[in-house]
């Protein structure tokens, strides 16, 4: 869905991004679920980065893709594999992520790690994380995208044992 975004989907004055399609089989298609359709907030930090990216892009018109393929002069978006190899993986490594050569790493890793971090470290309500990830069911967020935090588990165990003493 991210790769199918066009600049017209970035609603600058409303502070949100419209999600209404995904790029599949070489054309715009419907999102995977009804819950996927909708809007996500456009945080000022993200807005600033997108404005900067638009200024650098050779394809800044409203109908152009936010992440265009330069090989075909912006007529289609980047593929997920090229986006990951050329942008996401290098940025993650630069940020300190330990990714071995050949290790699987992609957009879903980003979704899983953000969900985990938001729930376990930032203490964001799971229902809010569900909305950010646009999952139809909270169980998807909790069961598939969030893992137990061992530090928190150890602390909870300690609190319980202290209360028993």
Contact call for residues 65 and 6 (beta carbons, < 8 A): yes
Helix then strand then coil, % of the chain, to nearest 5 = 50, 10, 40
The region that residue 21 occupies, defined by phi over 0 for left and psi between -120 and 50 for alpha, beta otherwise, is beta
The pLDDT score that the predictor gives to residue 35 is 64
- Token pair for 46: 């993200």
Predicted model pTM: 0.75
Pick left, alpha or beta for residue 96 (phi over 0 → left; psi -120 to 50 → alpha; otherwise beta). Answer: left
pLDDT tens digits, one per residue of 115-128: 888 988 889 999 99
* pLDDT recorded at residue 64: 97
């Amino acid at each position: 869905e991210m790769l199918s975004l066009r600049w017209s989907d970035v609603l600058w004055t409303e502070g949100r991004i419209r999600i209404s399609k995904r790029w599949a089989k070489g054309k715009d298609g419907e999102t995977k679920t009804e819950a996927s359709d909708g809007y996500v907030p456009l945080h000022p930090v993200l807005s600033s980065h997108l404005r900067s990216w638009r200024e650098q892009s050779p394809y800044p018109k409203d109908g152009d893709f936010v992440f265009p393929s330069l090989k075909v002069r912006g007529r289609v978006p980047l593929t997920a594999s090229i986006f990951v190899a050329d942008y996401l993986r290098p940025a993650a490594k630069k940020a300190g992520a330990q990714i071995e050569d050949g290790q699987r790493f992609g957009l879903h890793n980003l979704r899983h790690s953000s969900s985990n971090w938001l729930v376990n470290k930032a203490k964001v309500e799971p229902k809010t994380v569900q909305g950010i990830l646009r999952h139809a069911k909270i169980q998807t967020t909790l069961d598939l995208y969030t893992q137990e935090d061992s530090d928190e588990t150890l602390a909870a165990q300690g609190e319980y044992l202290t209360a028993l003493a």
